[in-house]
Every structure is written in structure tokens, then in C-alpha cells.
Amino acid sequence: MARSPGASLRGVDAFELSEIRTTLEASGRPFHEIVRSHDLSVGLYVLPAGGEDHQAPHTEDEAYFVISGRARISVGDKDRSVADGSVVFVPADVPHRFHDIDAELVVLVAFGPAEYTHRVDHDRGHPHQPQRG
């Protein structure tokens, strides 16, 4: 049975990377959200070799899992290389971007809670405050 990306399978959502890439390419955008609930959103982010990452800090914590590609990422004042299998955590409101993209970068991105959930707080002048242990 054919289904579109994002279709539910009786309580289990399952997706194929090739289908998500097709949807993403048709949109002409570098990011496509795959899953969204109040507490989590997940998407695919693809940047071409030599491309530029124009994202701004997000209002939620996020984690990146590099499916494929090679680049560097700056998070705050830290900078490191990333490649297939790298996982990077970015706290809410911290400036970050990929740069020096040597090979097409395909990244699974997870936001917790869902992307822009805290935007209303930000708009009211109350940015997210990370919890300190």
C-alpha cells in the first residue's frame, strides 16, 4: 500500500529516507519536518557541498545526527568537525551553524520540545532558561 511521508501506521510512524529526500527536494527547501508532537519534532536537513547554513538559534534544545557528509559545526564559541555518525547537541538559544561543507551534509534533527514551541515565550521577552544541575 503506497503512503505519503508522515502517514501513520496504526500507532507507529515509519519513514524511508528516500521518500523524505524526494519530498525535501520537491520543496526546494533544505529542511523538512517528518514528525511533530508537542514534546518532539524531527526533521531532515540537507546542505550541499560548499553550501551555506543560514539558520538562526532555535528556541528549543536540538540534537543533530549526521547521516552522511562532512563539515564543521560551530556551537557558541566551540567548533568541531562532523561526519557520518556524528551526534551534536545544541542548547536552546545558542548560535550555531554548519560550515566548510566538504560533502553533501544529510542530518537528522530532533527538537525537544517541538521546534518553535517556546517562540511565544521568546516573543514575550522570556527566553528559555537551561536547567543547571
Residue spans of the domains in the chain: they are 33-123
Poorest-pLDDT segment among 10-19, 27-36, 84-93:
10-19
5 CB-near residues (< 8 Å, 6+ apart)? 15, 16, 19, 20, 23, 34
pLDDT at 25 over 90: yes
CATH architecture of 33-123: Sandwich (2.60)
The whole model's pTM is what?
0.78
Q: Dihedral of CA 83/84/88/92: which sign?
A: positive
Q: Measured between alpha carbons, how far is 34 from 40 in angstroms, rounded to an integer?
A: 11
pLDDT at 81 over 90: yes
List, in sequence order, every residue forming a beta bridge with 83; answer none if it has no partner: 70
Question: pLDDT category, 2, cuts 50, 70, 90?
Answer: very low
Q: Dihedral of CA 21/28/102/33: which sign?
A: negative
Contacts 24+ apart (CB under 8 A), 124-130: 127/59, 127/92, 127/93, 128/59, 128/60, 128/92, 128/93, 130/91, 130/92
